[in-house]
């Protein structure tokens, strides 16, 4: 340590440090190193002969860091060459390390040569993605970033800028601007560049938002699968009916609230609340259809909810239909099921052969009273199965 402190103090004087190097260190280098690492030989691309003094050493300190590491590990000189004594090896290592420490202290706070650098291609792509919210990858036409000597594509020495690359940046900026969508209160960015594609993109987002609560999206969210048949954007009625029955049964006990039940099953809070009020008669009072549904709902268990759903789905086609409106191909609109004429056929089957079957024909009102109503049975008739003739095929 004393030798190191004295040497450090001496190295503050370049003249004295150079004298130590010339008189003490360099002769040992000539004796053990220059045979392989001279200007003429340069094995391993290492030339130690070019370091005539401290000023030369300062220009390339990395060489000396590597050299003392090799000396300390006993890797140099090679075993077949003359070897320095322990004292000589220690002297060289301590002197070089002292030089390195001295230079580090002298240059404290100096970052060295500061490069005028640019973003790498990947950094530029990520920056544009973060700013626009869209992965546009504008550097796809840029030259590939070099890896420099360190093997990293973001090293400052590798990130050069040429006139041709500047033109690429201008072209990339124009490409990015074509993805900007003007809005009343600002701009947004899209993957697409035409007005039609922008419209379709927004429509798709709207459909996906509402589709979260349809049977297809709900099953995908809950179970990871998708039903084979198209759901036309309809709600999973069986799940909603089952949830209302479950909630009805737990009203007198401590159970989840209605909104908690909706969240648990991936259902819409608002729609479940409306359905609950309809089935309890708080909405849609005095309806001949809903009164029958409510009556059956009050007596059902959750596992039998499919029975009520079948009844509801039987009425859905005549009450609702899907029309093409604008860009939506599945737009639900109400229709009236009341008609002035209706044809129907009812099969009549006896439980046992020869049993008497009694048929009653009755009608009711549509929930608005029967004042002024009348009914005409037109062409009522019975049709029997034809009697098979021997020899005829069935």
Annotated domain spans of the chain: 2-106, 121-188, 211-334
Q: What is the mean pLDDT of residues 22-51?
A: 85
- Alpha-carbon distance 133 to 128, whole Å? 8
**Strand pairing category for 320-325 and 328-334:** antiparallel
Pairing type for strands 186-189 and 320-325 reads unpaired
42 has a pLDDT exceeding 80: yes
State the DSSP H helix or E strand holding residue 9, giving kind and residue range, or none if neither. Answer: helix 2-11
pLDDT at 368 over 80: no
Confidence of residue 227 (pLDDT cuts 50, 70, 90): very low
76 touches 37 (CB < 8 A): no
Residue at token pair 């999973």: 236
Q: How does residue 28 score in pLDDT terms, banded at 50, 70 and 90?
A: confident
Residues 1-25: b if buried by 16+ CB within 10 A, e if exposed:
eeeeeebbebbeeeeebbebbeeeb
Secondary element (H or E) of residue 147 = none
How many whole angstroms separate alpha carbon 309 and alpha carbon 277? 17
Averaged pLDDT of the chain: 78
* 201-228 average pLDDT score: 61
Give CA 156 to chain center in angstroms: 32
Q: What percentage of the chain has pLDDT greater than the value 70?
A: 78
What is the torsion angle, in degrees rounded to the nearest 10, for the CA atoms of residue 347, residue 353, residue 354 and residue 355? -60
* CB-based contacts of 163, cutoff 8 Å, min separation 6: none
More confident residue, 213 or 216: 213
Q: For 233-272, what is each residue's pLDDT tens digit?
A: 567 788 889 899 888 887 766 667 888 888 888 888 888 9
Among 58, 50, 49, 47, smallest CA distance to 17 is for: 58
Mean pLDDT on 300-323:
79
pLDDT at 17: 67
Q: Which residues contact 232 (CB under 8 A, 6 or more apart)?
A: 322, 330
Confidence bin at 391 (pLDDT 50/70/90): low
Contact 312, 237 (CB under 8 A): yes
In this structure, what token pair is assigned to residue 247?
């909630």
Residue 273 has pLDDT above 50, yes or no: yes
């Amino acid at each position: 340590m004393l030798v190191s402190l004295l040497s450090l103090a001496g190295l503050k004087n370049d003249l004295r440090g150079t004298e130590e190097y010339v008189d003490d260190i360099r002769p040992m280098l000539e004796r053990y190193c220059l045979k392989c690492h001279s200007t003429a030989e340069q094995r391993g691309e290492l030339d130690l002969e070019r370091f005539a003094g401290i000023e030369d050493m300062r220009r390339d300190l990395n060489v000396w860091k590597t050299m003392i590491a090799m000396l300390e590990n006993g890797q140099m000189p090679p075993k077949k060459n003359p070897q320095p004594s322990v004292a000589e090896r220690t002297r060289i290592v301590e002197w070089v390390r002292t030089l390195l420490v001295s230079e580090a202290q002298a240059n404290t706070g100096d970052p060295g040569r500061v490069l005028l650098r640019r973003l790498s291609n990947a950094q530029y792509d990520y920056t544009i993605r973060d700013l626009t919210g869209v992965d546009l990858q504008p550097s796809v036409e840029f030259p590939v970033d070099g890896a420099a000597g360190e093997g990293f594509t973001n090293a400052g020495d590798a990130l050069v800028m040429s006139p041709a690359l500047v033109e690429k940046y201008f072209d990339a900026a124009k490409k990015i601007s074509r993805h900007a969508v003007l809005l009343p209160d600002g701009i947004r960015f899209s993957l697409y560049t035409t007005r039609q594609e922008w419209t379709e993109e927004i429509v798709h987002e709207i459909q996906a938002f509402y589709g979260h609560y349809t049977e297809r999206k709900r099953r995908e969210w809950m179970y990871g699968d998708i039903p084979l048949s198209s759901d036309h954007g309809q709600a999973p009625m069986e799940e909603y009916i089952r949830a209302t029955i479950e909630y009805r049964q737990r009203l007198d006990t401590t159970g989840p609230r209605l909104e908690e039940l909706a969240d648990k099953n991936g259902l819409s809070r608002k729609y479940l609340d409306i359905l609950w009020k309809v089935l309890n008669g708080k909405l849609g009072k005095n309806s001949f259809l809903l009164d029958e549904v409510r009556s059956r709902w009050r007596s059902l268990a959750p596992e039998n909810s499919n029975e009520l759903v079948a009844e509801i789905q039987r009425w859905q086609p005549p009450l609702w239909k899907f029309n093409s409106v604008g860009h939506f191909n599945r737009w639900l609109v109400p229709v009236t099921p009341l008609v002035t004429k209706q044809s129907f056929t009812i099969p009549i089957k006896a439980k046992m052969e020869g049993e008497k079957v009694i048929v009653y024909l009755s009608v009711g009102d549509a929930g608005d009273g029967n004042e002024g109503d009348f009914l005409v049975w037109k062409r009522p008739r019975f049709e029997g199965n034809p009697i098979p003739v021997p020899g005829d095929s069935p």
